[in-house]
């Protein structure tokens, strides 16, 4: 949330607080012209919506990246460990072609990114499934290549797949919120501008004149959030 948005939100809330003062509310709430009461409710809802949107827009997105990194490491570790089992089994069976596909250090798995890691893990799962369901399934099970270990590999692969685009989605979501804020600010400001148009209707008594003066004073926008002026 930038300073301008924060300052406008503070101003809108100050205006609503002025309207809600008991002495002032007696003059306008459910009093002619009744449209004023309707427009106050609309302005209040607009402020709530603007505040919620601004809060989501300014929320940190680092969590999505951290989630992805966690799932990535879990998949790398699981794939490497399962791959070593498959290499041992394939080597003992004389299937050096299959063994060579996964006879790599953990650093090789760590170097894979996003789709490359995902597809490599899925290929490992496919090869492992073929061994677990093949004619040598009983022997493969003694190496730890079992439906249970395959299920763990699949779970970690699926978990990573769900998070693979999470940071990009978070960035895109923030961009959409950022783009929506100017229009929300304009529409909210327009509602409060309309409220000012009705103030003369209430300023026909000393109490109404005081209400009008107090409300107009509440519309001042304090420039919060700026640093001190430089000294000369």
Tens of pLDDT, residues 83-141: 999 999 999 999 999 999 999 999 999 999 888 999 999 999 999 999 999 899 999 99
Round to whole Å and give the CA distance between 193 and 219: 10
In this structure, how many other beta carbons lie within 10 angstroms of the beta carbon of residue 140? 22
Mean pLDDT of the chain: 86
As to burial, measured by CB atoms within 10 angstroms (0-12 exposed, 13-18 middle, 19+ buried), residue 205 is exposed
Residue 72 has what pLDDT?
A: 92
Residue 53 has what pLDDT?
A: 80
97 half-sphere exposure, CB direction, 13 A CA radius: 1
Q: Do residues 49 and 11 lie in contact, with contact meaning Cβ atoms separated by under 8 Å?
A: no
Q: Residue 2 — pLDDT band, cuts 50, 70, 90?
A: low
CA angle 42, 45, 48 (to 5 degrees): 150
Query: Which sequence spans correspond to the domains of the chain?
Result: 3-61+167-218, 62-163
Mean of pLDDT values over 55-74 = 72
Q: Do residues 107 and 76 lie in contact, with contact meaning Cβ atoms separated by under 8 Å?
A: no
Residue 21 has what pLDDT?
A: 96
Which residues, other chains included, contact 100 with Cβ-Cβ below 8 Å and sequence gap of 6+?
Answer: none
As to burial, measured by CB atoms within 10 angstroms (0-12 exposed, 13-18 middle, 19+ buried), residue 172 is exposed
As to burial, measured by CB atoms within 10 angstroms (0-12 exposed, 13-18 middle, 19+ buried), residue 207 is middle
Closest CA to 203 of 215, 193, 191: 215
Closest CA to 157 of 83, 66, 61, 62: 83
């Amino acid at each position: 949330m930038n300073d301008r948005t924060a300052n406008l939100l503070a101003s809108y809330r100050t205006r609503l607080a002025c309207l809600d003062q008991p002495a002032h509310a007696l003059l306008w709430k459910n009093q002619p012209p009744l449209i004023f009461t309707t427009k106050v409710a609309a302005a209040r809802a607009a402020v709530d919506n603007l505040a919620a949107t601004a809060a989501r827009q300014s929320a940190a997105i680092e969590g999505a990246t951290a989630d992805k990194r966690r799932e990535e490491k879990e998949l790398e570790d699981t794939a490497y460990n399962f791959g070593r089992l498959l290499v041992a089994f394939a080597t003992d069976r004389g299937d050096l072609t299959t063994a060579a596909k996964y006879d790599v250090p953990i650093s090789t798995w760590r170097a894979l990114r996003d789709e490359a890691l995902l597809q490599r893990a899925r290929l490992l799962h496919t090869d492992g499934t073929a061994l677990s369901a093949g004619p040598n399934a009983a022997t493969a099970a003694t190496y730890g290549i079992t439906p249970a270990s395959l299920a763990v590999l699949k779970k970690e692969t699926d978990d990573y797949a769900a998070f693979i685009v999470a940071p990009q989605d978070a960035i895109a979501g923030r961009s959409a919120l950022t783009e929506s804020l100017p229009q929300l600010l304009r529409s909210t400001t327009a509602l409060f501008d309309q409220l000012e148009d009705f103030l003369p209707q209430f300023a026909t008594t000393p109490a109404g004149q005081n209400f009008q003066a107090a409300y107009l004073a509440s519309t001042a926008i304090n420039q919060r959030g700026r640093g001190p002026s430089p000294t000369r």
